[in-house]
Structure 1
Amino acid sequence: MTTTAHSHTVTLEVDNETLPGVPQHTTPNEILRLAGIDPATHYLEQVQGRHQISYKDKGDEPITVHPGERFVSLFTGPTPTS
């Protein structure tokens, strides 16, 4: 039996929470869904040291993720005013 690249999964970190079982070839929106976050109200950013890669408006574009990569979710809804 042969395995394909599509069957590999990795463990990521989303909002400081460990998220195992993420397909290596996925989309930002799928990562949000796996983390229990609604892609309709959030988008994903990848944290690389002091740099962040935004996937805003790119949620359905395929990406390749690697073990241990860190992401944060950002809310896109209206900000309450006081």
Structure 2
Amino acid sequence: MAVADTRHEDAAHKTVRVIVDEELVSGVPQHTTPNEILRLAGIDPADHYLVRVNGRHRESYKDEGDKDITVHEREKFVSVFTGSTPTS
């Protein structure tokens, strides 16, 4: 009897920790979307978008919140507010 290879299945369900706005966010699926990362960080994707930070390089997911992306352990992101700010 052959033993099933579950490595691919395990990789599909792997979770990592990422940093969003300098806060550690645990339980992020390695294969996810920018909007899901925002939600896991407690940020509303309706008025924010995510930017991946890698040194000086920035990768914006503006208008691409449902794009499938792969994230890695302790990868850094920042959220950008797109809503209106009240004036006084």
Report the Cα offset of residue 34 of structure 1.
0.3
Map Cα deviations across residues 32-70 of structure 1 (whole Å, 9 max, x no partner): 000000000000000010111000000001000011100
Q: For 1:11-26, what aligned pairs fall within 5 Å after superposition? A: 11-26=17-32
Rg comparison, structure with higher value: 2
RMSD: 1.4
SS in 2 for 1:58: coil
Paired residues, number: 82
SS in 2 for 1:78: coil
- Other-structure match for 2:57: 51
Report the Cα offset of residue 79 of structure 1.
3.9
Structure 1 residue runs without a partner (length 5+)? none
- Other-structure match for 2:81: 75
Identity, in percent, stands at 67
